[in-house]
Amino acid sequence: MHPKRLFLFGAALAFQLLSLPAHAELSAGAATSNITPKMGVPLDGTIMQVGPATDVHDELHARCLVLGDGRTKLAFVVVDNTMVSRKVFDRAKAEIEQQTGIPPSHVCLSATHSHSTPRAVVDLVDDDLHREYLDFLASRIADGVRRAINRMRPATIGWGSFEEPRFVHNRRWVLAENFRALNVNPFGEKGEIVKMNPGRDGLEKPSGPVDPEVFVVGLRDAETGEPLAILSAYGLHYIGGVPRGVVSADYYGVYADSLTRELGVDRHNPPFVAMMANGTSGDVNAIDPTQPRQKREPYTWMTEVGESLAGQVAEVFRSMKPIGEPVTLAAAAEDLELGVRKPDEKRIAWAEKTKAGIEPGKRLTQAQIYARETWFLKAYPDTVSIPIQVFRIGGMAVVQIPCEVFAETGLQIKQESPFPGSTFTIELANGFFGYLPTARQFDWGGYETWPARSSLLEVGAEAKIRETVGILLARLKAEAG
């Protein structure tokens, strides 16, 4: 399948070391760290109740890329985990800074959101294996960045994009008016306008858009022309189709393996690294509820999606023609203080009554899960500090937000960016602070808006985050001249 839309940019670059003068030409290095958990480590936490790891279908990795321009280094790590808390990522960043000198603001660590992997969230479960995994994960991320730096060499770079709409569908649907009274949330409240992953009946329209763009950043060895790494991003939640208790990197892992084969660079020296980051997919998945559900064997759908994307990305990568313009690197970051949606007395009373029915060892009902979440939110601080980061690579910008970002937010960031046609967002980056609905989506209700650790930020958080992103993008644009 030929891409429907293609933008190509690039620059010819040359090797640099820390001892070289500022603004030496670009270099790049890439590596992977195996982060597969031990058997018994909880997968996807206990909110979704997926249970402990009992088998491995495919290994999990932290896929690492480091860029340098002689003065500045930027590091990307795409982690095969459902989500990773800021405390774990900060631990990895501290280790990276101690070992390499790269400051935390210049390191983008993001989770893919595969649901057949651990939720690397501090204090999520009272489990020794889980706590051990968090320490292991932070160290393996730092190890991968160190190895990527060891492999840095002269590189050429290009970036481009294409649209693949087949696999992205908004999962939140506005219900027909006569169906809204039947839509009951876990708190016993009726009449929400929106339902996540609805059936086929009573559907009016999707509650928002999708972003079908696949953004591709490609690097080659400047001397040999051999592929070094490809960083890509796509706003697709995940695919699934993995049996309970089985570890898998989902379509992100299929994509990385397939792209390596597609380019004929398996077991090259240095090893080629393919990375697929999660774009703005908080309200997007691969299921079209207007069509009949297809029954598929395990792993088949993720394989089809991963292989299809790999083939199209390979076509874009082969078309990239590096140019002679030097590329410089820069980063901007800000910690943003946001309010937490604390439960009121009425909700606390409901939670106390509902939680009283929980029996040890018995699977929780949806209401009991949210009753428990109400107690967690009650104990939460009133505010949280979340990291917002932006990287500039030549004339391209990479926005990083530590939430599950809705597609409409990602599209608006692109539209307003001072780097037109060359901006993309990586979600679940540098931490995890739940879903990020717009104020209008909160009014409509639905799963992503229900108060829990998975949706804890104040109603105005999306607008404040988007404003902060705009300020950081403008700062980087002004500095670039």
What does the domain layout of the chain look like in residue ranges? 9-173+201-326
- What does the pLDDT read at residue 276? 98
Closest CA to 341 of 280, 384, 372: 384
- What does the pLDDT read at residue 209? 98
- What does the pLDDT read at residue 461? 98
Place of tokens 């051999």: 226
Q: How many angstroms separate the CA atoms of 136 and 125, rounded?
A: 16
- What does the pLDDT read at residue 361? 77
What residues in the chain have per-residue pLDDT under 70? 1-24, 45-50, 323-324
- Exposure string for 114-144, b = 16+ CB within 10 A, e = fewer: bbbbbbbbeebeeeebbeebbebbbebbbbb
- 3-class secondary-structure state, position 329: strand
Closest CA to 461 of 410, 411, 386, 391: 386
| C-alpha dihedral sign at 442, 444, 445, 448 | negative
Q: How many angstroms separate the CA atoms of 118 and 109, rounded?
A: 16
Q: Cα dist. 157→284, 313, 353, 418 in Å?
A: 30, 15, 59, 21
Each residue's pLDDT tens digit, 81-110:
999 999 999 999 999 999 999 999 999 999
Judge whether 14 and 172 are in contact, CB under 8 Å: no
- What does the pLDDT read at residue 23? 52
Place of tokens 């990895």: 92
Closest CA to 145 of 218, 78, 230: 78
Closest CA to 431 of 479, 465, 407: 465
Q: How many angstroms separate the CA atoms of 134 and 428, rounded?
A: 17
**Quick one: tokens of 194?**
């929106």
- What does the pLDDT read at residue 328? 95
Judge whether 351 and 379 are in contact, CB under 8 Å: no
- What does the pLDDT read at residue 389? 98
Each residue's pLDDT tens digit, 245-265:
999 999 999 999 999 999 999
Q: One-letter amino acid identity for 61?
A: H
Judge whether 354 and 371 are in contact, CB under 8 Å: yes
- 3-class secondary-structure state, position 398: strand
- What does the pLDDT read at residue 353? 93
Q: How many angstroms separate the CA atoms of 199 and 290, rounded?
A: 8
Q: One-letter amino acid identity for 146?
A: R
Q: What is the dihedral of CA 48, 234, 437, 471, to 10 degrees?
A: 130
Judge whether 393 and 157 are in contact, CB under 8 Å: yes
- What does the pLDDT read at residue 115? 93
Q: How many angstroms separate the CA atoms of 231 and 217, rounded?
A: 5
- 3-class secondary-structure state, position 125: coil
